[in-house]
Structure 1
Amino acid sequence: MSPKPTYEELEKRIADLERGALEQAKESKRVQEVYLSLLNSSADAVVIYDLYGRTVHTSPAFTDLFGWTLQELKGELIPFVPESEKDATSEIIRDLLASGKPCRNFETRRYTKDRRLLDVSMAASLYLDEEGNPAGVLSILRDVSEKKLLEAQLLQAHKMEAVGTLAGGISHDFNNILQIISGYVQILLLNMSSSDPDYYKLQTIEKAAQKGSDLTKRLLIFSRKVEAELRPVDLNHAVLQVVRLLERTIPKMIQIETNLASDLRVINADPLQLEQIMMNLGVNARDAMREGGRLFLQTSNVALDETFCRTHVGSRVGEYVELKITDTGHGIKPELQEHIFEPFFTTKGIGEGSGLGLAMVYGIVKNHGGYINFESIPGKGTSFHIYFPILSVEAELFVPDDRKKDEVLGGKGERILVVDDEVLLLEMVGDLLTRFGYVPIMAESGERAIEILQGEKGLIDLVIMDLSMPGMGGYRCMKEMLGMKPDLKVIIASGYSANRNVRDTLKSGASGFIAKPYHYNDMLRKIREYLDWQGQERRGNTLAL
């Protein structure tokens, strides 16, 4: 049996225990201070809750992001969980308390103190007391609103690109069909007196085909298969011209106002397409203000910086001219806003719109290297912001050219090779050419056209061909034909408008271009113009459409 400690020994042991406890308390306090320092230095918002969900601690980043201070929240529940997120959040916390397994990358939404709704990514874990028992929950919240916005914009951009590709392909094929319908109607009308009972019916069919053609042109503009005829333009002048048109087309209870920058920079733009943008947005504004209101058109010089471009997918840093068009109409519902630029999407009633107006606006702006966005508040109105890149060099402003078309002349027995994979279209064009004094030779593919040219090299006066064909295709066919006969005159007739592929083909040696569906007068005029174009440089020139 060990001897009992003396009083001095007991006193020493007590002093050692007190000293150890004091050191342990100091160390615990130091660890706690380091721990809180780490939490407070976090760039993400940090919250510590007790087991009842009451606030124990919040970091400065939490205050910066959500607006509440620790003094406001300590011992209280934080009122920032939306009703729609309560069930999912409760389930996450129940699983955490039951299993102890941390939660990571839980995407949810939270309100700020001023009731803004943020997209956040949440991580949560249990924290333990000194005895190793659960004492509460530590939650880290990261604002991913900008990331979610960019993801949505990128997804929308990809969707619009895919829809544009589809729309362009459909338009090309549809234009071929319209050419056949329109061409045969025009041929029938040539042999018919205006007093014939069927004359009006055929004219109606021709008008319907023209409406179909207008529709496909809008689709082609949206899909950016139509290149803008860019030239230096004063946007203020274009706005004033459109205002005069709108004043004659919208009700007088809608007040049109302008605020045009006096020092506005010059832009490189297609004047007709600028007019289409403003007229479409103006008409949409009219439809949104049935009971009257204000339509406001404003121009200004702006610079888009990296901060703006980082949150607006598709925009680029640089100097722009901004066209802002605002109405005080009924606005656009939030659930519809992501769809407004899609082809055939419309909120109007049956027969009141094709759903291509805003799709065409979107395509034109993109084709000009610009950017478009909008904001809309239901019940208050909508503002469209359109940004056009400035023209960095001084240039002469566009002045319209009102030259008259030449008189149409028939053929003199010239032999014309027509190349197209649409057999019905070949037959229609052959009938038309024969009727006006030409000798048509038909080829349903590029390969067949090469064979014909090899056999009749000196007997072909002109070629009319499509570019989009199976097999070797139109571009390669044209290159091989020009290699065989360098002075051969080739007219491109395409269901696409004069896009980049067509222009590249023209630069490679084609003489001219005509868009399907065309009127027979336009085709005959173009044929005659090239056949009579002697002694001049024939390659690399483009006639006006």
Structure 2
Amino acid sequence: MQTDLRHLAEQLLRDGTVMAPDLNGIDLDGLVHELYVYHAELVVQKSELEAAQAEAERSRNEYAQLFHYAPASILFLDRRGVIREANQTAARALGADAGAVRGKPFTAFLAGGDHAAFHRHLRSVLGAGHRREFPARCVRPGGGGFPAEVVLEWWPMSAPGEPRAAAAVRDVSDRAAAEVARRAAAEAERRAWEQTRATLDALPAQIALLDPAGAVVAVNAAWRRAAAARPAAGDIGAPYLDVRAGIWAGTRAADERHVADGLGAVLAGTAAEFVFEYLYGTHDGPRWCRLVVTPVRADRVTGAAVTHTDVTERKAAEQALRFRERAITSADQGFVICDFLAPDRPLIYVSPGFERITGWAAADVTGRNCRFLQGRDTDRAAVDRLRAAQAAGEACAIELLNYRRDGTAFWNGLSVSPVRDETGRVTHYVGVLSDVTARRLLDEQSRQGQKMEAIGRLASGVAHDFNNLLTVINGYTEILLAELPPGGRAHQLLREVWSAGERSAGLTRQLLSFSHKQVLRPQDLDLNAAVAGAESLLRRLIGEDIQLVTLPGADAGAAHADAGQLQQVLMNLSINARDAMPTGGQLTIRTGAFDLGADHPRARLGAPPGRYATLSVSDTGCGMSVEVKGHLFEPFFTTKGVGKGTGLGLATVFGVVQSSGGWVQVESEPGAGTTVCVYLPQVAAPAPPPEPPPSTRPPRGAETILLVEDEDGVRALSRCILTACGYTVLEACDGAEALRLARAQGPSIQLVLTDVVMPGPSGREVAEEIRGRHPATKVLFVSGYTDDAVVTRGVFQDQMHFLHKPFSPDALALKVREVLDAP
């Protein structure tokens, strides 16, 4: 019943009418109730429907918004490819608004070459429901276009009988540009690699690229040339250490192990680089190789680059450079380099030799101009010549007085040469310094010796003539003194004449000693004994206000010299020392020994290497300046007042020492005293001197004597003395007359008493001819000097006898008797 009422109510509300019979027997109240209930349900359903419709509209609007403003270009196409709907994104992409796009075929927006492909893909999608993607080029009505990727897919919400396809169009311009960029990058990378390969092939070093395991992945042309004995392609993929054994044979096993360790450290990332230089064998001999292994990195070590470089020439150059450096370091000379372009031309290098010569350390002078070596006595003109040569870009060699760091002076033999760049511009100067102080002193002494030799020749001639006169004067004076009674006035006056003659004879001896023309009687003299023997005489010479100190050296030994000359040397040096200490002081005589090496400057000037006895005389006097020392040994040079010095003292010392095979060295500074050191060749200890014979009257004889003398006065005196002694005297005024007499008299002549130097045949020639005829004839030579072969460097021949002028009557008589009685 309830159901009927509900059905009736729905009918009344749906149709508005009801048939009368249908109401028969109906519960009208129940019907009304059902009507009210159903009406209420309808109201609710209407409300829900309206809400659903509103939601559907809102969803349609949202969809439309999503569709039109989606970031992707979306179109709906019918089976002919006509655009039925397009969103705003697609319209903008195609260059039109949505209304203008609708109704147009999609091919209107495709390049002509893409039409066939589009229709083919569209049929496949609509016919079989396949999804198709294909590239195309979209064009815009106003011109232009873009590369696109088109996706076609069947649209499931198509109306029956009207299948549609959804199309999505993606602008792939960025992707295309990226692809172009990628391809360009790949091409650039390819070209870069080709360029790199070409560069690597052009390099002389042998280069290989290794992978992380140490296998070879690429090699350059130099590597391929090194592997010419076998194909280099076989190296690719092979372990590098195995490849080495085939190319670099002859490497030491220890070196190979070191290479393996270094390579492993680089590939493991524990070493930033491995560098090793080693020797390996070739057919041409051993060569030096420099191996460099560097890692190839990305975010980790991905391999290594191996470089082999032949450094044999560089090693040879380095060795030569080290040798030159050792040579420069070992050289006595100093080497300096100055930067000629820098302000003040500073030193940029000084050698150890420079440090030894100057006392300046390299660190103290680098960066300074070398003028710090100059001082108050440096020759400005020489410095100017040096600067002028440098300004002209020329080499220059000069000698300058320079000063060491401690202030002592030395003579610097300086040679400078320019160093030029490739354009010829002078960039540096190289200087070579030599300490030539000793050589200059020796040169000065050599020049002094030459001057003395020249003056000596003049002095010897004068002394010879003077000796002849003194022989006559002193000889006749002694004869007269012997005949006059002592004590008388005449005897006293003659005694003064004789004393003056003896003093004059001493002066001639000095002149002859200075000129090397004195007849010497050298012998082996104990130097300490000679000094001790002269000590008392020297004390009287120097006076009481000067203290005499003798310091005999145990190693002084003996020297071969003339005793009288050695005493003369001691006296002259002591007198000079005394005169340098007018207010008193100390005079020290010291003896010792000195070993002269072959590399000593004195040896290079001719002094024989060996052991020398030394005799030095030192004073505490005023000393000497450099200028005075420069004239020290000049004859007649004196710093003493008029009448107080002859200027022959040191000149005589120089001559005596030089004639004995030695040399003199002087050290002196103003206010610091003077030391004169004499060097004489040392000999073995001398034998003890023989006891002097007892004094006797001049001996007599009856033999025949041939007297040969070109000086009339001397010849007359000699005849007087000899005839007074009972001898028969034959006189000859020159050598020619002597030979005539000898031929006439024959063997009756027992003694030839002859001068040495005469006009015509000399005394030696006369003696040799007479002794050649009569060997038993004795010979006695007489002279004031001699250059003759009878005396050679002061050494007598054993079988010859000599008497020096001036001689006394007793000396002549004794010597004649000695020669006649000799075996």
Q: Which TM bucket (shorter chain)? A: 0.7 to 0.9
Residue 406, structure 1, aligned to residue 702, structure 2: no
| SS of alignment partner, residue 465 of structure 1 | strand
Q: 1:399 to 1:133 in 2, by over 3 A?
A: closer
Residue 230 of structure 1 corresponds to 523
Matches within 5 A, 1:67-466: 67=360, 69=362, 72-74=365-367, 78-82=371-375, 84-90=378-384, 93-94=387-388, 97=391, 100-115=392-407, 116-125=409-418, 127=420, 132=423, 136-143=427-434, 145-146=436-437, 147-187=439-479, 199-222=491-514, 223=516, 225-231=518-524, 233=526, 235-262=527-554, 265-268=557-560, 270-310=562-602, 313=605, 315-392=607-684, 396=687, 398-399=688-689, 401-409=691-699, 415-434=704-723, 437-457=726-746, 459-466=748-755
| SS of alignment partner, residue 351 of structure 1 | coil
Q: 1:429 to 1:334 in 2, by over 3 A?
A: same
Question: Residue 337 of structure 2: which of 46, 54, 62 is its match?
Answer: 46
Q: Which residue identity does 2:582 align to in structure 1?
A: R
CA contact (8 A) 1:224 1:366 kept: no
Q: 1:485 to 1:406 in 2, by over 3 A?
A: farther
Query: Mean Cα displacement is larger for which, 71-80 or 380-389?
Result: 71-80
Query: Mean Cα displacement is larger for which, 195-204 or 118-127?
Result: 195-204
Provide the rounded CA distance (Å) in 2 between the counterparts of 1:475 and 1:505.
16
CA contact (8 A) 1:48 1:58 kept: no
Query: Following TM superposition, by how much is the alpha carbon of 1:310 offset from its aligned partner in structure 2, in angstroms?
Result: 4.2
CA contact (8 A) 1:465 1:474 kept: yes
Instruction: Summarize deviations over 1:74-130 as a string: whole Å, max 9, x none.
Output: 376743445754455446545654xx55233344454444444442333243745x8
Provide the rounded CA distance (Å) in 2 between the counterparts of 1:352 and 1:517.
26
Provide the rounded CA distance (Å) in 2 between the counterparts of 1:529 and 1:88.
64
Q: 1:267 to 1:521 in 2, by over 3 A?
A: closer
CA contact (8 A) 2:418 2:426 kept: no
Query: Following TM superposition, by how much is the alpha carbon of 1:493 offset from its aligned partner in structure 2, in angstroms?
Result: 1.7
Query: Following TM superposition, by how much is the alpha carbon of 1:448 offset from its aligned partner in structure 2, in angstroms?
Result: 0.8
Q: Which residue identity does 1:58 align to in structure 2?
A: Y
Q: Which residue identity does 2:544 align to in structure 1?
A: K
- Return 5+ residue gaps in structure 1 as ranges: 1-5, 24-29, 538-545
TM-score if structure 1 supplies the norm length?
0.76
Instruction: Summarize deviations over 1:455-492 as a string: whole Å, max 9, x none.
Output: 22255453321111122211111121123333323322
| SS of alignment partner, residue 595 of structure 2 | strand
Q: 1:184 to 1:247 in 2, by over 3 A?
A: closer
Query: Following TM superposition, by how much is the alpha carbon of 1:416 offset from its aligned partner in structure 2, in angstroms?
Result: 3.2
CA contact (8 A) 2:399 2:411 kept: no
Q: Which residue identity does 2:671 align to in structure 1?
A: G
Provide the rounded CA distance (Å) in 2 between the counterparts of 1:120 and 1:309.
14
- Return 5+ residue gaps in structure 2 as ranges: 1-183, 204-313, 329-334
Q: 1:500 to 1:435 in 2, by over 3 A?
A: same
Instruction: Summarize deviations over 1:300-348 as a string: whole Å, max 9, x none.
Output: 3442223445478454322233333221111233223244344443333
Provide the rounded CA distance (Å) in 1 between the counterparts of 2:770 and 2:540.
52
| SS of alignment partner, residue 470 of structure 2 | helix
TM-score if structure 2 supplies the norm length?
0.53
CA contact (8 A) 2:470 2:806 kept: yes
Provide the rounded CA distance (Å) in 2 between the counterparts of 1:381 and 1:467.
45
Provide the rounded CA distance (Å) in 1 between the counterparts of 2:623 and 2:632.
12
Provide the rounded CA distance (Å) in 2 between the counterparts of 1:141 and 1:281.
39
Query: Following TM superposition, by how much is the alpha carbon of 1:64 offset from its aligned partner in structure 2, in angstroms?
Result: 5.5
Q: 1:90 to 1:345 in 2, by over 3 A?
A: closer
Provide the rounded CA distance (Å) in 1 between the counterparts of 2:814 and 2:555.
44
Question: Residue 468 of structure 1: which of 757, 780, 795 is its match?
Answer: 757
CA contact (8 A) 2:524 2:561 kept: yes
Provide the rounded CA distance (Å) in 1 between the counterparts of 2:558 and 2:796.
29
CA contact (8 A) 1:45 1:65 kept: no
User: In terms of Rg, which structure is larger?
Assistant: 2
Provide the rounded CA distance (Å) in 1 between the counterparts of 2:472 and 2:425.
79
The alignment of Structure 1 onto Structure 2 pairs a total of residues equal to 502
Q: Which residue identity does 1:47 align to in structure 2?
A: C
Q: 1:502 to 1:391 in 2, by over 3 A?
A: closer
Provide the rounded CA distance (Å) in 2 between the counterparts of 1:313 and 1:172.
32
Instruction: Summarize deviations over 1:177-200 as a string: whole Å, max 9, x none.
Output: 322333344455566666776554
Provide the rounded CA distance (Å) in 1 between the counterparts of 2:604 and 2:641.
32
Query: Following TM superposition, by how much is the alpha carbon of 1:168 offset from its aligned partner in structure 2, in angstroms?
Result: 3.9
Q: 1:459 to 1:494 in 2, by over 3 A?
A: same
Query: Following TM superposition, by how much is the alpha carbon of 1:215 offset from its aligned partner in structure 2, in angstroms?
Result: 1.5
Choose between structure 1 and 2 for higher RCO, CA contacts under 8 A separated by at least 6 residues.
1
Instruction: Summarize deviations over 1:158-207 as a string: whole Å, max 9, x none.
Output: 44444445544443333123223333444555666667765544443332
Provide the rounded CA distance (Å) in 1 between the counterparts of 2:682 and 2:338.
49
Residue 540 of structure 1 corresponds to none
CA contact (8 A) 2:400 2:414 kept: yes
Q: Which residue identity does 1:69 align to in structure 2?
A: A
Residue 492 of structure 1 corresponds to 781
Q: 1:507 to 1:527 in 2, by over 3 A?
A: same
Query: Mean Cα displacement is larger for which, 136-145 or 370-379?
Result: 136-145
Query: Following TM superposition, by how much is the alpha carbon of 1:251 offset from its aligned partner in structure 2, in angstroms?
Result: 2.7
Provide the rounded CA distance (Å) in 2 between the counterparts of 1:486 and 1:202.
43
Q: 1:242 to 1:521 in 2, by over 3 A?
A: closer
Residue 3 of structure 1 corresponds to none
Q: 1:192 to 1:155 in 2, by over 3 A?
A: same
Provide the rounded CA distance (Å) in 1 between the counterparts of 2:559 and 2:798.
29
Q: Which residue identity does 1:487 align to in structure 2?
A: A
CA contact (8 A) 2:386 2:396 kept: no
Provide the rounded CA distance (Å) in 1 between the counterparts of 2:690 and 2:647.
30
Provide the rounded CA distance (Å) in 1 between the counterparts of 2:812 and 2:694.
16
| SS of alignment partner, residue 627 of structure 2 | helix
Query: Following TM superposition, by how much is the alpha carbon of 1:407 offset from its aligned partner in structure 2, in angstroms?
Result: 1.3
CA contact (8 A) 1:51 1:135 kept: no
Query: Mean Cα displacement is larger for which, 50-59 or 439-448?
Result: 50-59
Instruction: Summarize deviations over 1:53-87 as a string: whole Å, max 9, x none.
Output: 33263343555654263675537674344575445
CA RMSD of aligned residues (A): 4.2
Provide the rounded CA distance (Å) in 2 between the counterparts of 1:314 and 1:367.
14
